[in-house]
Structure 1
Amino acid sequence: MEEKLPKIYSTKAILGFSIFLSTLFGGVLLFQNLIDINKKKEAYTVLGISILITVITILIVNVPDEPKSSLAYLCGIAGGSFLSYYFVPKYFPNEELYPKKAIWKPLIIGAVIVVFFVTLMIYSASHENY
């Protein structure tokens, strides 16, 4: 009898969320994939690396006197590529055989987080003017 493979987030989903939200977000998707195949130690390693890359990204983006969002995208591409093209093939060598999870849930969560932070920035900026 053939073993039924669990659904996972695709390489493209991990890369896309890493670029447009953060490497941490892409790392959480990969973390969930690894948890779903019972690789907890590897999952926490990937999560730790994702957090480290996100902290490095924050430092790189905020070091210049005038932070540039293009640096955040470049770091997202680098971090997401590392997750997608190093870790995914390492732990899912036959990734194409796994059914894919829909990205709606992480997309909605990401949108809520972005709206929250944008609202917070607008609110704090409007209070600085008083």
Structure 2
Amino acid sequence: MEADPLATTLKPNVPLYSAQAIRGFSMLFSAIVGGLLMAQNLRDVGQPEAARKALWGSIGYTLLLLWLTSYLPNRVGGMWLPLVIGYAGAMGLEAYFKKFVLNWGDFPIKSIRKPLLICLAVTLPLVAALVYLLVIAGGPAGSPYPY
């Protein structure tokens, strides 16, 4: 496979989020989070236009897949479907990034502490609210939820 002529081989001095980190965040949280991390990588290597495209592409991909999966029967979905969707989105982001940077593995790895704390700060209250609605507020008597 021939390399893209637009691709750059930059000096490995700027820390970037690793491909594994982007895959993990895409699978655990959403492809949008992976897109945010990838957009930051692209900005760090001097590709702001590509960063915008990566971010908007991940948002569009997530919305499209949410819409498409809404047509699946309930028994087809499950715990594995968001993981597969996130992984596929991350692989697309990774392929897009390789058009601009050929030697991704040569860059130092950026810490995932800050994005992880932000994702947990957003996700945990949402999960807590969902648990509250389903378990505490939606008790057996007059429950709007049949479970």
Per the normalisation by structure 1, the TM-score is 0.86
The DSSP-based 3-state class of the residue aligned with 1:91 is: coil
Q: Structure 1's 74 and 60: CA in aligned 2 closer, same or farther, altered over 3 A?
A: farther
Q: In the aligned structure 1, how far is the partner of 2:112 from the partner of 2:78?
A: 28
Q: Residue in 2 aligned with 1:92? A: 101
Deviation digits for residues 38-96 of structure 1, max 9, x if unmatched?
21111000001000111123223433342523221111111111112x11211221112
Question: Structure 2, unaligned stretches of length 5 or more?
Answer: 1-10, 143-147
The runs of 4+ residues in structure 1 deviating greater than 6 Å are: none
Q: In 1, are the aligned partners of 2:42 and 2:97 still within 8 Å (CA)?
A: no
Structure possessing the higher radius of gyration over alpha carbons: 2
How many residues align? The count is 128
**2:49 corresponds to:** 41
1:80 aligned to 2:102? no
Residue 70, structure 1, aligned to residue 80, structure 2: yes
2:40 is matched with 32
Identity percentage of aligned residues: 28
Is contact 2:35-2:58 (8 Å) kept?
yes
Gaps of at least 5 residues in structure 1 are: none
State the 1:4 CA deviation.
6.2
Cα contact 1:18–1:26 (8 A) shared by 2: yes
- Structure-2 residue corresponding to 1:50: 58
> Partners in 2 of 1:11 and 1:106 — Cα distance?
14
Contact 1:61 1:69 in 2 (8 A): no
Q: Which amino acid aligns with 1:19?
A: M
SS in 1 for 2:111: coil
Q: What residue in structure 1 maps to residue 68 of structure 2? A: 60
Tell whether 2:111 aligns with 1:102. Answer: yes
